Amino acid sequence: MAAASPVPLAAWADAPGPDHLYINASAVAVDGRGVMICGASGAGKSTLALKLMALGANLIADDGIRVDLGEGPGTLPFLQRPDTATDLIESRGVGLLRAGAVCGRAPLSLVVDLDRAEPDRLPPRRNVTTGTAEIPLILGAGHPSLALSVVWMLRHGREIPEGDPAS
């Protein structure tokens, strides 16, 4: 099983800048590690963020995040709360909920793509790239225990499947 080719993070960008990207995504911090949740409108970005918050994550921003790109090879990018972000998160069919404690900035440690479902039971390592770093990617559409899996992965790691070049 081969690792999939990295996806450029800029593919999700709405407004690229020279040292940052602006992405229509939601983001939370789990134990200080940033998770960016991407997907089309209605894909469940805010819902996944809310589930992660119920498991102890802190909201960075709902529905728009700035990604400060790393400056050198291997430098992690940071998820940055936009100046205009509120401390609210949308709960479809319920309304705008107060987020509680928010996180202003966290290193981007994981990207979740809610537009694509994972076809493999034990998937190969998937990554997004910023040009200076590669960040793990989860294809999460339709995944019933995604929030639990994300928290567990960030706290305890993930085993790379046998035969993957990273193993």
pLDDT in tens, the chain (167 residues): 456 778 888 888 887 777 889 999 999 999 999 999 999 999 999 999 999 999 999 999 998 999 998 777 777 899 999 999 999 999 989 999 999 999 999 999 999 999 999 999 989 999 999 877 899 999 999 999 999 999 999 999 998 767 666 55
pTM: 0.91
* Cβ neighbours of residue 109 closer than 8 Å, sequence gap 6 or more: 33, 34, 35, 76, 135, 136, 154
| Domains and their CATH numbers in the chain | 26-156 (3.40.50.300)
Tokens linked to 97: 């909920």
| Cβ atoms of 66 and 24 closer than 8 Å | no
CA 36 to chain centre: 2
What size, in residues, is the chain?
Answer: 167
Strand bridging mode 58-61 / 95-98? unpaired
CA 104 to chain centre: 15
pLDDT of residue 1: 47
pLDDT of residue 163: 66
Amino acid, single-letter form, for residue 123: P
Distances (CA, A) of 25 to 55, 76, 125, 161: 19, 18, 22, 29
Distance CA 56, CA 92 (A): 21
Strand bridging mode 95-98 / 88-91? antiparallel
